[in-house]
A = this chain, B = another copy of it.
């Protein structure tokens, strides 16, 4: 009664509502526009937003909700309550929500649901880290975030661009971690040791984004792709270069080679590191002890 003054003059209100709810039951996958169009064609004048208004009052605004309501009211009654396709839609939606919730824990916006683009980035990072660029298909990525392959292209223009984005973000995070670690060091040697520990830590960490960055260092990609990745790495290597220049080294030491030896030893941890063994800090300390025993 309280809402009666918002309703049209004719008594057709409950009539229209019944039709809309009927459509929600018989054609749950139809959207506002389609339902409004269909009803109007049958002589029941209604706008898309009108359909949505009724849906909202009954908690049926989305395809998922309409399908769930259907499944709830005919629980295993008849065999074919939902068609296989409808079941699939529900499953994808569930997967998608689950992923969004899970990722919020890891990502930067802890708590709130993340943007789809970030979720795609994270999923791609995980797969790239695990199987490499060639070993990962756009299909795999889409499946992981609960989308269809084509939908990825709304967010990233190509697979290569997606990889470049992961790579860039990886080096951004890696650089930030290393910068923060180095800042805590008092002597040049201590700073180098902290860099090494942070570097190893980032490579073997749970965060797949920095792992991708680390792996890309010795990954062989197509020349065109490799070219786009080079600049990300340059800045990072510069940090190590200036740090080594500060060390009190004998003249006979080739600084360029020393830097390469350190990078090689550090990155090699990706191949042999196992979580239960030596910690990144211990490994870094040993590397310093073996490579620069007399420096302080």
Using a CB–CB cutoff of 8 Å, the interface residues on chain A facing chain B are: 131-132, 134-135, 215, 217-218, 220, 222, 252-254, 257-258, 260-261, 263-272, 278, 283, 286-287, 289-291, 293
Contact = CB atoms under 8 A, between A and B. Distances in A.
Contact of A268 (B253, B258, B260, B291): B260
A242 to B, nearest CB: 18
Q: How many copies does the complex hold?
A: 2
A253 B291 CA distance: 11
A132 B220 contact: yes
B218 A270 contact: yes
A204 to B, nearest CB: 13
Contacts of A257: 278, 283, 286-287, 290
B135 A268 contact: no
A264 B253 contact: no
Contacts of A217: 271
B218 A253 contact: no
Nearest to A252: B289
B270 A267 contact: no
B271 A265 contact: no
A91 to B, nearest CB: 27
**Most chain-B Cβ atoms within 10 A of its Cβ — which of A215, A260, A278, A283?**
A260
B291 A291 contact: yes
Given A135-B134, A218-B218, A220-B215, A260 B272 contact: yes
17 contacts: A131-B222, A132-B134, A134-B134, A135-B220, A218-B218, A218-B268, A218-B270, A252-B289, A253-B286, A253-B290, A257-B278, A257-B283, A260-B272, A261-B268, A265-B265, A265-B268, A267-B268
Task: State the 9 A-B residue pairs at the shortest beta-carbon distance, nearest first.
Answer: A264-B268, A134-B134, A264-B265, A261-B265, A264-B264, A257-B286, A132-B220, A218-B218, A218-B271
Given A218-B268, A264-B265, A258 B134 contact: no
